[in-house]
Amino acid sequence: MTVELISVGTEILMGSIVNTNAAFLSAGCASIGLSIYNQQVVGDNPDRLSDAINLALGRADTVIITGGLGPTEDDITMQTAASVMGKGLVEDAHTREHIGNVLKNSIYKDNITDNNWKQAMVPEGAIVIDNRNGTAPGIIMERGDKALILIPGPPNELEVMFRKDIKPYLMARNPKAIFSRTIKLCGIGESQAETKIIDLIDAQDNPTVATYAKTGEVQIRITASADTEDAAKELVKPVAKEIKSRFREDVYTVDADCNLEDVVVEMLDKKGLKIVTAESCTGGLLAGRLVNVSGASEVFSQGFVTYSNKAKRKALSVDKAILKKYGAVSKETAKEMAKGAILASDAEVGVSVTGVAGPEPSEGKPVGLVYIGCYYRDKVTVKEFMFRGNRQKIREQAVVMALDMVRRRIIEDDK
């Protein structure tokens, strides 16, 4: 089954916001074996949106439109989509009640304007989907073998609605059962990963195998179709087993919804360990990734952001002589930072990051040079990395590699 995405919003066309919704929906559709060949972005103009919808319906089985479902005058998606499908708008009593309940419990409860009720006007005969995190409902309209789906634009509303309601609907519409497994790797590049499984990629039919590059990691998606989901799972199973055997410790999870920091926090928790971070160029990003995980309070001791040399000396007891001789960006300083963090906390695992994120070289050292240290079991391991990209990209890659170092050190200890 083919799906086409239409993102509505002049702010997207103007570059005022990044269209993360399209990326999320593309990945979500691909994960259940749906094909997306085209995407469109349309401003808040009913004529151009009508043209986009008709074009999409002419070449896709299902069209998903995001955005333009708000209460203001420039939110024209609902009425435009209904018009294209030949449907009038009627008030949905349940949606009106839902909107009222949301607004009464919001900061706007004393100033509810009439235009809010616009969102209760839905196409006749449509499937109406409650918005768990907002007021605008989701809409599904069917015409023959075609479906037109409307989803609110705010990501916190869109993502929940897609997972809970739209994804199951799409899976039910697909004539074949689809099953996908995602194998996530860290510490290996996409080209290297592809080379190790190129025979599987070249021979693919059902299931299919594809690699995807993420910041600091690679994902391998295996997707099979069959008459039943169980049959599709059986097709995926031997391929997944073979891929895991080839990459071994580079595999950090086979759960598509699990991230590297989730794995690290779980590993620390299982072993009853606490972790402390000591960061320079990453400026707290590493600690932030860890505390984003539910349950991190059980394993995260504290974090030090020691950007200046003075802070490194004062908070982490880094020897002044080492800073003077080797510089802040050095193997020696990374080692001292990791040890100092352990001594200044109650943690058993310490991880340090120091480097040059750019945009200019520092201490005569090139942009992208990063040293990461990991203290565990009275031993400090330090690795040198040379990352590419802009300042933010370098910092993000450093965080991923720091998390991966912790993961691998714990694995080594279990051997």
Q: For every one of its 415 residues, what pLDDT tens digit does the chain have, with 9 covering 90 and above?
A: 899 999 999 999 999 999 999 999 998 998 888 889 999 999 999 999 999 999 999 999 999 999 999 999 899 999 999 999 999 999 999 999 999 999 988 777 777 788 889 999 999 999 999 999 999 999 999 999 999 999 999 999 999 999 999 999 998 888 788 888 999 999 999 999 999 999 999 988 899 999 999 999 999 999 999 998 899 999 999 999 999 999 999 999 999 889 999 999 999 999 999 999 999 999 999 999 999 999 999 999 999 999 999 999 999 999 999 999 999 999 999 999 999 999 999 999 999 999 999 999 999 999 999 999 999 999 999 999 999 999 999 999 999 999 999 999 999 987 6
Q: What is the pTM of this model?
A: 0.79
| Residue 315: partners with Cβ closer than 8 Å, 6 or more residues away | 304, 306, 340, 344
Clarify whether residues 6 and 150 are in a common domain.
yes
Clarify whether residues 241 and 346 are in a common domain.
no
How many domains does one find in the chain?
3
E-strand stretches of 193-343: 208-214, 217-226, 251-253, 275-279, 300-305
Last residue of a domain, one of 156, 173, 190: 173
One DSSP character per residue, 21-54 reads HHHHHHHHHHTTT-EEEEEEEE-S-HHHHHHHHH
Clarify whether residues 181 and 115 are in a common domain.
no
Residue 119 and residue 96 in contact, taking contact as beta carbons nearer than 8 Å: no
Residue 130 and residue 137 in contact, taking contact as beta carbons nearer than 8 Å: yes
Clarify whether residues 37 and 169 are in a common domain.
yes
111: which 2 tokens? 């100033």
- CATH code where residue 248 lies: 3.30.70.2860
Last residue of a domain, one of 153, 173, 193: 173
Clarify whether residues 94 and 204 are in a common domain.
no
Clarify whether residues 127 and 169 are in a common domain.
yes
Determine the structural domain holding residue 238 and report its residue range: 177-253
Last residue of a domain, one of 146, 173, 200: 173
- CATH code where residue 58 lies: 3.40.980.10
Phi-psi group of 3: left, alpha or beta (phi > 0 → left; psi -120 to 50 → alpha; rest → beta):
beta
**How many residues in the chain?**
415
Clarify whether residues 360 and 380 are in a common domain.
yes
Clarify whether residues 289 and 222 are in a common domain.
no
266: which 2 tokens? 């779980």
Clarify whether residues 191 and 272 are in a common domain.
no
